[in-house]
């Protein structure tokens, strides 16, 4: 198929583009590179032995979208492009509504006008808010605790309305749990710009000596070791979920929400210990106050994806940590071409 991937230069996008190319699809990417480097896609081309056209354009510019659809005529869209930093979304909510909601609206509008009605959308487990039951199934009540989460909820509702208005739409809302890890080659991986917020990039930066220690947010949660529990999922498994969802949509159509998680929870301390073992070095950490907005436990019930699209995760925590370490140790400053000074710990 001809597949347009928005945000295809980013972390999950690069891994998915690589799988699409490997499976023989034709891929074009639209990405404004606001949170990624061109180098990621260059390495994808190298790994796939195939090229991918990158349009360095913005979803907020409808003319750019129109030009791509008019000239290339994609058959389906995988929509990753969005801003994803929870803290920044609290400080700059309008930027998040503009980029994530208005950007998606522009995309849907051009898709409808060009009769392209197959869409895979990056939603997030954040749409479950502080879920009352674990594991979390797709039919749990949705809510959001921050502007980032609300942008995902708004887009999900827009997609619900669109599908209800016209049965020709085929839409998958993929709710990711905690994506981590990297491609086995160590050539592509997560390259956070500035100070990372998520656990694995923080641990990886401590392991390579760019940060002094991991601050563990809370040691008094009602969990076996007192630290938060999450459903970490390998980014390569996550990417496979997009191909499975796309296949399903092409054959069956309809509107669907699927959790992409492993169904297993791991605690913050378990992850630090696993990293320390695999990288064979001490990972200093200290337990500090809980982070505002964090929940104690979050893990998926992934059975719907298994039953309906035949997808399940295959890689366990050890593999996720090993691949993160392989990527980080080969690329201590990510894709950046020049040596950067050590990243300051914020205190
Ligand atoms: P990422 O930041 O690495 O990739 C997103 C890409 O979109 C970036 O390359 C960025 O430059 C691009 N982009 C952003 N706004 C754009 C715009 N207006 N026009 C064109 N390009 C734009 O993030 P990721 O981790 O790969 O996440 C991909 C998607 O998955 C996002 O929508 C994110 O909210 C969602 N998600 C991510 C996680 C996670 O932990 N990584 C979890 C749940 C959901
Ligand atoms: C966060 C976002 C969520 C987003 C997801 C993926 C919040 C509140 N939620 O989820 O909306 O979809 O990232 O991008 O930000 N931790 C530490 N020390 C650190 C970093 C994290 O102890 O330096 C702990 C956290 O308290 C949590 C666990 O590690 O218990 C995972 O944190 P993180 O990787 O940030 O993901 P989430 O909070 O689950």
Is 186 within the bounds of a domain?
Answer: yes
Determine the number of helices (DSSP H) and then strands (DSSP E) in the chain.
12, 14
Other C-beta atoms closer than 10 Å to the C-beta of 231 total 26
CB of 90 closer than 8 Å to CB of 146: yes
Tell me the per-residue pLDDT of 55-83, one tens digit each, with 9 for 90 and over: 999 999 999 999 999 999 999 999 999 99
DSSP category for residue 260:
E
Q: Identify any residues that bridge with 77 across adjacent strands, giving them in sequence order.
A: 4, 119
Q: How many domains does the chain have?
A: 1
Report yes or no on 339 lying in a domain: no
- The answer to whether 27 touches 8, Cβ cutoff 8 Å, is yes
* Residue 344 pLDDT: 45
Question: Ligand 1: which atom is nearest the Cα of residue 84?
Answer: 34
Which residues form the domain of 164?
Answer: 2-330
By CB atoms closer than 10 A (0-12, 13-18, 19+), residue 187 is buried
Q: Is 35 helix (H, G, I), strand (E, B) or coil?
A: coil
CA of 230 to the centre of ligand 2 (A): 8
* Residue pLDDT, tens place only, 315-341: 999 999 999 999 999 999 999 865 444
pLDDT digits (tens), the chain, 347 positions: 999 999 999 999 999 999 999 999 999 999 999 999 999 999 999 999 999 999 999 999 999 999 999 999 999 999 999 999 999 999 999 999 999 999 999 999 999 999 999 999 999 999 999 898 999 999 999 999 999 999 999 999 999 999 999 999 999 999 999 999 999 999 999 998 888 989 999 999 999 998 999 999 999 999 999 999 999 999 999 999 999 999 999 999 999 999 999 999 999 999 999 999 999 999 999 999 999 889 999 999 999 999 999 999 999 999 999 999 999 999 999 998 654 444 444 43
Map 85-130 to HEC letters: CHHHHHHCHHHHHHHHHHHHHHHHHHHHHCCCCEEEEEEEHHHECC
Residue 337 inside a domain? The answer is no
346 located within any domain: no
CATH number at residue 250: 3.40.50.720
Flag whether 344 is in a domain: no
In sequence order, what are the residues at sequence separation of 6 or more whose Cβ sits closer than 8 angstroms to the Cβ of residue 267?
A: 223, 224, 225, 227, 228, 229
**Burial class of residue 323, CB neighbours in 10 A (0-12, 13-18, 19+):** buried
Ligand 2 center to residue 8 CA distance, Å? Answer: 23
In this structure, how many other beta carbons lie within 10 angstroms of the beta carbon of residue 197?
14
Q: What per-residue confidence (pLDDT) applies to 138?
A: 98
92 found inside a domain? yes
**What pLDDT was estimated at residue 338?**
54
Percent of the chain clearing pLDDT 90 (strictly above):
92
Active site residue 148: yes
Which residue from 294, 299, 320, 346 has its CB within 8 A of the most atoms of ligand 2, so it is best to mutate? 294
pTM for the whole structure: 0.97
Question: What confidence score (pLDDT) does residue 54 get?
Answer: 98
Ligand 2 contacts (CB < 6 A) are 84, 86, 124, 126, 148-149, 178, 197-199, 202, 214-217, 228, 230, 268, 291, 293-294
User: Would you say residue 335 lies in a domain?
Assistant: no
**Is 36 a member of any domain?**
yes
Give 228 Cα–ligand 2 centroid separation in angstroms: 9
Residues lining ligand 1, judged by CB closer than 6 Å?
7, 9-13, 30-36, 58-60, 80-84, 99, 103, 122, 124, 176, 179
- Ligand 2 centre and the CA of 286: distance in Å? 16
- CA distances from residue 345 to 206, 216, 226, 251 in whole angstroms, order as listed: 10, 14, 24, 50
């Amino acid at each position: 198929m001809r597949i347009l991937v928005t945000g295809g230069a980013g972390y999950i996008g690069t891994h998915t583009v690589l799988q699409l190319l490997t499976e023989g699809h034709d891929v074009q990417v639209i990405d404004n590179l606001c949170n990624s480097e061109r180098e990621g896609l260059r390495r994808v081309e190298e790994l796939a032995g195939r090229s991918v056209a990158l349009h360095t354009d913005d979803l907020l510019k409808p003319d750019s979208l129109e030009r791509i659809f008019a000239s290339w005529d994609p058959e389906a869209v995988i929509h990753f492009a969005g801003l994803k930093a929870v803290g920044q979304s609290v400080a700059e909510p309008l930027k998040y509504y503009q980029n994530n909601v208005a950007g998606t609206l522009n995309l849907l509008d051009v898709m409808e006008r060009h009769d392209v009605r197959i869409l895979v959308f990056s939603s997030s487990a954040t749409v479950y808010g502080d879920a009352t039951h674990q594991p979390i199934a797709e039919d749990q009540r949705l809510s959001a605790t921050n502007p980032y989460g609300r942008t995902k909820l708004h887009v999900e509702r827009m997609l619900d309305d669109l599908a209800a208005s016209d049965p020709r739409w085929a839409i998958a809302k993929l709710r990711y749990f905690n994506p981590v890890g990297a491609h086995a080659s160590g050539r592509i991986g997560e390259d956070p710009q500035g100070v990372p917020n998520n656990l694995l990039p923080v641990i990886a930066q401590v392991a390579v000596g760019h940060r002094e220690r991991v601050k563990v947010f809370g040691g008094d949660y009602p969990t076996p070791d007192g630290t938060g529990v999450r459903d970490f999922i390998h980014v390569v498994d996550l990417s496979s979920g997009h191909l499975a969802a796309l296949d399903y949509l092409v054959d069956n159509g309809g509107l669907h929400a699927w959790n992409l998680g492993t169904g297993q929870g791991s605690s913050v301390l378990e992850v630090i210990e696993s990293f320390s073992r695999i990288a064979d070095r001490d990972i200093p950490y200290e337990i500090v106050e809980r982070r505002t907005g964090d929940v104690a436990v979050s893990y998926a019930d992934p059975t719907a994806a298994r039953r309906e699209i035949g997808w399940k995760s295959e890689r366990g925590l050890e593999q996720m940590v090993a691949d993160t370490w392989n990527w980080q140790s080969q690329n201590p400053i990510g894709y950046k071409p020049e040596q950067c000074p050590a990243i300051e710990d914020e205190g």
